[in-house]
Amino acid sequence: MTTPGIVITGASGRMGRMLVAEVLASDACRLVGALERPGHDWIGRDLGEAMGGAPIGVIVSDDPVGTIARAQAVIDFTSPAATVAFAELTAQARAVHVIGTTGLSPDDLGKIAAAARHAPIIRAGNMSLGVNLLLGLTRRVAAALGPDWDIEIVEAHHRMKVDAPSGTALMLGEAAAEGRGATLDDLRTPAREGMTGARIPGSIGFAAIRGGDVVGEHDVIFAGPGERVVLRHLATDRAIFARGALRAALWGQDKGPGEYDMADVLGL
């Protein structure tokens, strides 16, 4: 039996490079393609050489149709527009699509849901074991603490991150809202600036810090009368996300069409 062939999109990106290394180090799969955006200077080059090492026989391509046709799984950490386009092509190829891209709009999510009618899509704003455990803890603490406890989510990321709040912060906010028997749309408070007025009771607030090379830090703060509870996750190595994504790609091999998340993959 041959191992599943994996295509990595955005192969030159911060996550793309981690994913390539993770797939090449695994005996459970093969790297069968690497995609970059048209005009990128890696197009047409051997991926191993482009990454500064020995050739590996995979040429970086800007042709998603031909490349994805060879894949049993596509691991995709790129941009919302690229991910929506890849979702359609991956569904046509009946391959597993693992989506790590964040900043997706409701319209993007609708298109991804449509693609998932034809093939499995596993999507999470954070693929790490630690954050996915923290989601369950956040749900439980939010349920246990009453409405006198204000919920605020603070996240910090590197200076190149383009979306805010982070995908992880939004997942944590959704978990906190679920703990309160509501949705994040019900409880989310707009970003604060100027004369905001006092805090809306029961709302969930977000703050985003951007700077340097911070991999990803998230605090869920429960601020009550006279005390605070803080749940924290600190990512210090992007390999945690790549490891989770590859695990998802392999897990998805025998799954039917539909939308899945890391709780499904990890059995949480």
Ligand X SMILES: O=C(O)C1=N[C@H](C(=O)O)C[C@H](O)C1
Ligand Y SMILES: NC(=O)C1=CN([C@@H]2O[C@H](COP(=O)(O)OP(=O)(O)OC[C@H]3O[C@@H](n4cnc5c(N)ncnc54)[C@H](O)[C@@H]3O)[C@@H](O)[C@H]2O)C=CC1
171 contacts: CB under 8 Å, gap ≥ 6:
124, 125, 126, 131, 135
- Nearest approach in angstroms of CB 22 to ligand Y is 12
118 has catalytic annotation: no
The stretch near ligand X (CB under 6 A) out of 5-13, 163-171, 173-181, 245-253 is 163-171
- Nearest approach in angstroms of CB 247 to ligand Y is 12
CB-CB neighbours of 211 under 10 Å:
10
> Is residue 102 within 8 Å of 92, Cβ to Cβ?
no
> Is residue 187 within 8 Å of 203, Cβ to Cβ?
yes
Q: Which of 97, 111, 157, 218 is catalytic?
A: 157
Spatial separation of the C-alpha atoms in residues 3 and 5, rounded to whole Å: 7
Helices (H), ranges, 153-217? 167-179, 184-187
Q: Per-residue x/- marks for ligand Y, 37-56, CB under 6 A? A: x--x----------------
161 has catalytic annotation: yes
Cα separations (Å) of 260 from 104, 118, 139, 256?
Answer: 16, 13, 19, 10
Q: Which of 161, 218, 233, 255 is catalytic?
A: 161
The stretch near ligand Y (CB under 6 A) out of 45-53, 73-81, 133-141, 196-204 is 73-81
Tokens of 50: 């482009």
Looking at 4, 16, 120, 252, which residue binds ligand Y (CB under 6 A)? 16
125 binds ligand Y (CB under 6 A): yes
Footprint (CB under 6 A) of ligand Y, residues 172-231: none
CB-CB neighbours of 58 under 10 Å:
23
67 binds ligand X (CB under 6 A): no
90 binds, among ligand X, ligand Y, none (CB under 5 to 8 A by kind): none
78 binds ligand X (CB under 6 A): no
Spatial separation of the C-alpha atoms in residues 144 and 118, rounded to whole Å: 39
Q: Which residues pair with 150 in a beta bridge?
A: 223
Binding site for ligand Y (CB under 6 A): 9-10, 12-16, 35-37, 40, 77-79, 82, 100-103, 124-127, 167, 241
Q: Which residues bind ligand X (CB under 6 A)?
A: 102, 125-126, 157, 161, 166-168, 216
* Residues involved in catalysis: 157, 161
